[in-house]
Amino acid sequence: MSIHIALIAHDRKKEEMVDFVIAYEHVLAGNQLYATGTTGQRIMDNTSLKVHRFMSGPMGGDQQIGALIAVNQMDLIVFLRDPLMAQPHEPDITALLRLADVHGIPVATNLATAELLIKALERGDFGWRELVEKHKPDLGPA
């Protein structure tokens, strides 16, 4: 089963994200990967993974990922946040995390939780998302 995974990292966490993705490239391969601008580019520069890149977070990338959550097109989010640095787009971050909570999307905001979720993915523990996929709302023609 291929799932949709968002990979987001604040500036001082981008290197950690790249290291994480390199370590778990074998698990992430075969899934649909999404990322905000620079994070996605750095992942593609350092792995063989294909990543659908959105705008950078402050320019609307967090909201683009949030839109996918709202229409049940996202299954897992790894968002390595920098808790020691104020972010100019904090309202967008809060909205993204709120949407994930509303729609029951697992979110990792640090490496420890990211590893737990990626190990669950590796074991096949995301089968419950198949049931959710079956009940996706029909959005009709665009």
26 labeled binding residue: no
Output the six-digit token pair for 42: 């750095």
Query: Of 11, 45, 62, 92, which is the active-site residue?
Result: 62
Give the integer Cα–Cα distance in Å for 35 and 57.
Answer: 9
57 labeled binding residue: yes
Angle (CA) 10-112-14 rounded to 5° is 20
10 labeled binding residue: yes
DSSP structure class, residue 142: -
48 labeled binding residue: no
Residue 62 designated active-site? yes
Residue in 7, 85, 69 with CA at minimum distance from that of residue 42: 7
Residue list, annotated binding site for substrate: 10, 14, 36-39, 56-57, 89
Residue list, annotated binding site: 10, 14, 36-39, 56-57, 89
Catalytic site residues? 62
